[in-house]
């Protein structure tokens, strides 16, 4: 896909990540875009805010998009490489593409998704890396809880 468009969409996910950080939460954001480029849903990790371990950024964006008959052609944009839980979401529902802010601080299941035909766009965005590096440094227990380690 077009890198300028990918970076524009990442901006939506980054705004979500910053909002989560501002609420005292884990700074990971995501957005689901339709095949026509329209924004279907956006969200951020809500473990701390709602005491809800099921709301990772990607699942929050997926939920916000509501019921969809098909995910063909959709793109999940996320500030961080998706964990197995969120990678499973992408595979099960047939989301076509994943745009990833960074996979330096955490390497999830995106290689597995690529093997199963999902288009992966890895942006290596310095702001995404910085958000997570700073967060993990100050809240290692919370981060480990969020990834089940």
Stretch that binds its own copies, among 1-9, 14-22, 45-53, 132-140 (CB under 8 A): 45-53
Asked if 51 touches its own copies (CB under 8 A), the answer is yes
List 86, 103, 118, 121, residue binding its own copies (CB under 8 A)? 86
Q: Which stretch binds its own copies (CB under 8 A): 10-18, 49-57, 98-106, 131-139?
A: 49-57
Q: DSSP letter at 144?
A: H
Q: Which residues is 75 bridged to in the sheet? A: 33, 97
Query: Would you count residue 87 as binding its own copies (CB under 8 A)?
Result: yes
Task: Tell me which residues in 52-71 interact with its own copies (CB under 8 A).
Answer: 52-54, 59, 62-63, 65-71
The CA distances from residue 48 to 54, 71, 93, in Å, are 11, 29, 27
Report the helix count and the strand count for the chain, using DSSP H and E: 7, 5
d(CA 148, CA 114): 23
Buried b (16+ CB within 10 A) or exposed e, 16-36: bbbebbeeebbbbbbbbbeee
Q: Which range in 12-20, 23-31, 123-131, 140-148 contacts its own copies by CB under 8 A?
A: 140-148
Residue of 20, 29, 101, 109 that binds its own copies (CB under 8 A) = 109
58 catalytically annotated: yes
What amino acid positions are annotated as catalytic residues?
A: 58
């Amino acid at each position: 896909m077009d890198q300028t468009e990918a970076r524009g969409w990442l901006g939506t996910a980054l705004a979500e990540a910053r909002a989560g950080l501002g609420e005292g939460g884990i700074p990971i954001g995501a957005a689901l875009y339709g095949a026509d480029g329209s924004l279907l849903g956006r969200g951020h990790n809500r473990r701390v805010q709602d005491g809800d371990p099921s709301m990772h950024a990607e699942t929050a964006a997926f939920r916000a998009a509501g019921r969809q008959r098909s995910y063909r052609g959709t793109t999940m944009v996320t500030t961080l490489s998706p964990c197995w839980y969120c990678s499973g979401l992408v595979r099960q529902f047939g989301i076509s593409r994943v745009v990833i802010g960074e996979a330096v601080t955490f390497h999830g299941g995106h290689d597995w998704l690529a093997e199963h035909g999902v288009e992966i766009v890895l942006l290596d965005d310095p702001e995404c890396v910085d958000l997570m590096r700073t967060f993990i440094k100050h809240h290692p227990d919370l981060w480990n809880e969020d990834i089940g380690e």
